[in-house]
Amino acid sequence: MIAIRPAIRSDARACARLIVEPSGGINAILGDRRAALRAARAAFLVGDTGLGWNRSLVADEGGIVVGLAARLPGSEWSRLRVRTGLAMLVGARGRAHRLVWRGAVYDRAVPTIPADVLYVMSLAVLPGRRGRGIGAALLARVGEEAAGLGVRAVALDVDAGNGRGIAFYRREGFEPVAEVAAPASRGLPPLASIRMERPVA
């Protein structure tokens, strides 16, 4: 039996594992899984970041966290952006420079988050639990919240190389609205990201 519930601080370990799952995400940027886990955990524990425990829903299966959706109203992003970056920098320690470089590229390349959307910062399900509707259930809850907030759409960014993720979002009613790319630089992988949106019913 799967329950979708708000995350709590003690979910940090499980949620950090989920935050580093998506391809092209924090793991690829830092190039080191342990540093990525530390950065993810720091951003989760601080709260009031884009990945904060108080911005996250988890899928709980018999007391085990098997999925995560971190979401925030687009109107809050300008306030949370700096806090998110700083928390991750502290967590990434020796790898922080990669985050700074990529952060600068990302800020220039990725479309701003509109104020009238509910933005999904992170969505992931544990590898062994995929294909059972957990991701869809998390997105359904986010969709209900978006309707309650009166926003125009649910929005997210997905790595252009994440074909299965993109197929999943399309099946869930999302359409691409913008695509951005930046070349590899300073030892960092190239950035290619697709903004997708699903209108609120």
Ligand X SMILES: CC(C)(COP(=O)(O)OP(=O)(O)OC[C@H]1O[C@@H](n2cnc3c(N)ncnc32)[C@H](O)[C@@H]1OP(=O)(O)O)[C@@H](O)C(=O)NCCC(=O)NCCS
User: Where does this chain bind ligand X (CB under 6 A)?
Assistant: 21-22, 123-125, 130-136, 158, 162, 164-165, 167-168
| Beta carbon of residue 123, minimum distance to ligand X (angstroms, whole number) | 5
Q: Is the CB of 97 or the CB of 181 nearer to ligand X?
A: 181
Tell which residue, 146, 42, 132, has the closest CA to residue 96.
42
Yes or no: say if 172 and 136 are a contact pair by the CB < 8 Å rule. Answer: yes
Q: Is the CB of 24 or the CB of 73 nearer to ligand X?
A: 24
Q: Is the CB of 27 or the CB of 46 nearer to ligand X?
A: 27
| Beta carbon of residue 183, minimum distance to ligand X (angstroms, whole number) | 22
Phi, psi for residue 38 in degrees, rounded to 5: -65, -45
Q: Is the CB of 96 or the CB of 123 nearer to ligand X?
A: 123
Q: Is the CB of 105 or the CB of 123 nearer to ligand X?
A: 123
The burial class, CB within 10 Å (0-12 / 13-18 / 19+), for 128 is exposed
Instruction: Give residue number: closest CB to ligand X.
Output: 135
| Beta carbon of residue 72, minimum distance to ligand X (angstroms, whole number) | 15
Report the alpha-carbon distance of residue 169 to residue 162 in Å, rounded: 11
| Beta carbon of residue 130, minimum distance to ligand X (angstroms, whole number) | 3
Q: Phi-psi region for residue 130, left (φ > 0), alpha (ψ -120 to 50) or beta?
A: beta
| Beta carbon of residue 135, minimum distance to ligand X (angstroms, whole number) | 2
Q: Phi-psi region for residue 105, left (φ > 0), alpha (ψ -120 to 50) or beta?
A: alpha
